[in-house]
Amino acid sequence: MKKILILHTGGTIAMSENQETGAIAPGAENPLNQAVNPFGDRFDLITENVFNLPSPHIGPKEMLIIQKRIMLAFNENIDGVVITHGTDTLEETAYFLDLTLPNHLPVVLTGAMRSANEIGSDGLHNFQTAILTAASDDAVDKGVLVVMNDEIHTARYVTKTHTTNVATFRTPTFGPIGSIAKDSVNFFAELLSQTCLAIDEVVDHVYLVKAYAGMDAELLGFLDNDQTNGVVIEALGAGNLPPQVLENLQKLIDRDIPVVIVSRCFNGVAQDVYDYEGGGVQLKKMGGIFCRGLNGQKARIKLLVGLSTGLQKDELAIYVADALS
């Protein structure tokens, strides 16, 4: 019998709808704690309530608490881990864990788009399929996974794409790496590579900025201070910025503040291909770090992890730029 550790952290999957107002909020008790075990004696389920927080309340410090709890599981004969989590920041927690956990132990995150008492609630089904995935022998060495709506995605590339649809979690460009049909867990892709960094604490003041037409230089100017540890910029197109921000961007780089460039586009990768003022070629010459294949929030998590583990300038740039590690 496989032993699966269940870590509840809150989110819509742990909430209920007020039948009079329609508002959704956490209750005193997680509804999943009261759900009937659909697997009988097939699995030994060990349940712990780590938090009961909406996912906008979860940040790197809470992610580190989850990571440290899972690290303990390596010495507890645990065969797999399932984490229930709010969907708003689920992809960031998943990627943080993917970067900081050895990938041999299956770790699966899941959540819900509809609360426990709404018509068509998806929470219990997602919970069940996440358990099946974590218990699958084929989930070993796949990295941290996200299971929602009968699809299996890698933490590295999955993102939330819709505010309310149950099919919100998608992997742009590449698609899911597996699916669940009834009790059958099927993988059809492999994790290419993974670098795991040991982490004991997390740094703060790592910022994410989104570029836009006519972007003001002052926004980057506000970050030019001794507290700023890193900046990720969701640049335009393939990785370009309005020319008026370049002076303040250079000031950040001259301060040895790592500046990471990604694209604000939903698909594709950031590349230094345009050679004009503010184009990617100039940004790279200035010292910008191009991160290929990650969205802004994932790139910020990767930069934060690299900084938290003490990577220095050159090795930090190599680590952040390689989205495949």
Q: Between 3.40.50.1170, 3.40.50.300, 3.40.718.10, 2.40.170.20, what CATH number should domain 3-187 receive?
A: 3.40.50.1170
Element spanning 6, H or E: strand 2-8
The Cβ of residue 191 has, within 10 Å, a number of other Cβ atoms equal to 18
pTM of the entire predicted model: 0.95
The 3-state DSSP class for residue 153 equals strand
- Asked if residue 88 belongs to a known ligand binding site, the reply is yes
What dotted CATH number matches 206-320?
3.40.50.40
Q: Are 307 and 206 in contact (CB under 8 A)?
A: yes
Whether 3-187 shares its CATH topology with 206-320 is answered: yes
User: In which residue are the tokens 């759900």 written?
Assistant: 35
Q: Name the residues annotated as catalytic.
A: 12
How many angstroms separate the Cα of 88 from the Cα of each of 12, 49, 270?
10, 19, 24
Q: What is the pLDDT of residue 324?
A: 66
**% helix / strand / coil in the chain, to the nearest 5?**
30, 20, 50
Residue 36 has pLDDT above 80, yes or no: no
- Residue 87, annotated ligand binder? yes
DSSP letter for 286, please: H
pLDDT reported for residue 60: 97
| pLDDT tier at 173, thresholds 50, 70, 90 | confident
Distance CA 53, CA 108 (A): 18
152 has which bridge partners? 147, 178
Range 111-124 average pLDDT? 92
SS3 55: helix
Residue 325 confidence class, pLDDT cut points 50, 70, 90: low
Q: Give the single-character DSSP code of 283.
A: H
* DSSP annotation of 240: B
- How far apart (Å, rounded) are the C-alpha atoms in residues 325 and 67? 18
Hey, where are the domains in the chain? 3-187, 206-320
Report helix, strand or coil for 260. strand
Q: Residue 111 corresponds to which amino acid?
A: G
Q: Which residues contact 323 (CB under 8 A, 6 or more apart)?
A: 156, 269, 291, 292, 293, 294
pLDDT at site 293: 86
Q: Is 16 annotated as a binding residue?
A: no
Q: Tell me the CA end-to-end span of the chain in Å, nearest whole number.
A: 33
Where on the phi/psi map is residue 10: left (φ > 0), alpha (ψ -120 to 50), or beta?
A: left
